[in-house]
Structure 1
Amino acid sequence: MDTLVSIKVFCEVVRVGSFVGAARHLGVSSPMASKHLVHLERHVGARLLHRTSRKLSLTEAGQFYYDKCVDALDVLEQAEAALADRQGEPAGVLRVTAPVWFANDRIARLLAQYQKQHPKVVLDLYLTNSKIELAQAGMDLAIRVTHEPEPQLIVRKIGTVQLVLVSSPAYIGAMGMPQSVQDLEKYGAVIPNYRDRNDYLLHGPDGRMKFQLNSLMKLNDTTLSRKLVIAGMGIAMLPAWLVEEDVRQGRLLRLLPDHDSPPLDIFASYISRQYQTAKVRSFIDFFSAAMAP
């Protein structure tokens, strides 16, 4: 068996915590993933993983070997990326973390277009609303929506997005359509639990208005928030891209459409300029152009 492939399988098993998950991600069968680990343990002459029916855990030797393998694979990947840079063609695995609400139709179309333009780049997209350490998580790039970019990262603004106030026809049919910002106090809302506060800002005909939403539920999954509101659970302030098709199809109603929220900046962030390889540059340049007004 190819020992380098076995090393990649071993590292992926440790990263995802299971043979099934690693096999699915790498495009091999679970039995083949197990064979790779057996081959690797025979090759190094040490047991690398404790395996039970419930969980996997690294042995002391496995932890030492895993740390070294991760470093070695990073070096190999950087070498491949550097070679691709010399040839001027983006290539290799591009690991990107982005907000959960990036799981929408518009972003899906853009990702498909990007992959068509750069077929040698394999996107590994991790959606989370939590901020993660890029180096520690092995990420090349983070897409973040914030007013305050992290000073330790190199950032480039690639676009903006607005939050819009929406609800279902059924809920508004029962509660009535709000006529002013002050009316919002009587509605229940689905709000994110990763925000420090539940107050929002809208600009309307009467100027700038601050208001609070009364929480019915808090959660950290923006796409589930959308589904809950469609199902009739109150109102929500959601990214316009996430709900634009729902509004168009009548599944959701835009509330107070003559009021706009301040646009939120979307930044691409990466660790340092040495990590701005051709694949990173290609992704940033593509989305900057695609998100331009």
Structure 2
Amino acid sequence: MEQRELRRAVEAGRATALGLGLQVDEVTVVHNSDRVALRLAPCDVLARVAPSAHLADSEFEVEVAHHLTEVAAPVAELDPRVQPRVHVRNAFAISLWTYYEPLESEIAPADYADVFIRHHAALRRIDLNAPHFTDRIAAALREVNDQERSPELPDADRELLGNTLSGLSAAIGIAKTRDQLLHGEPHPGNLLNTRRGPLFVDLATACRGPVEFDLAHAPEEVGEHYAGVDQGLIHRCRALNWAMFSAWRWRRDDQMPDRDHCRAEGLNQVRAALDRCEPS
């Protein structure tokens, strides 16, 4: 979020927690993109604040968290002191979560794969109406194909992203026999290393697809520790993931900080991932 919008989001998160009887003397911005995460102290709450246009996504995330907590999935939990729901204040959707102090040590690839296996097993145990990953790709493709939505995207790069999104989506989405409920975007930024062990956050991206789609968000070494997966499919999914990331960054109304760098980096990563997909 831009600074003016960020200040409004911080105030909405603080006021919501105060209104629910939680003590808030200090607010720290933990993460800032198109939505923000705030640490509220001393009540030790993580407030996730999104523009109200994303209310449905925030409500879906709370629903996912509720179901996964019931089956002891390795996920961050909603704050138990308040009702598990999304609050709307000053054109923002706010949900309140338990704050987990992150550990400084990195998560080893084998441990990353282990938490993936446990999380995927938990996801198979819940009943949830979630979109297929190809629906998300179709949404990204609409941004790429609409010059009014992405006016600064150069023609050559528009063709690259369009061909990648449409071609790989069609090829991967044909066989759905291995599909299951997924996290959707389990990259390292969405896996916290805590005293309780690694915990997934940002659950609004839950979707259906092959487990390789999730694994493609993690460092490459992680997939080597997850038995029975298709390494070639992971490479193709990684190209798709970077193409989606790039599509969002070229949106006219994208608010990702350092957007120019992200745009260039995203396109470079798409090309590198496509090179890995080519037959030897």
TM interval, shorter chain, is under 0.3
Task: Point out the structure with max Rg over C-alpha.
Answer: 1
TM-score normalised by L of structure 2? 0.27
Larger fraction in strand? 1
TM-score by structure 1 length?
Answer: 0.27
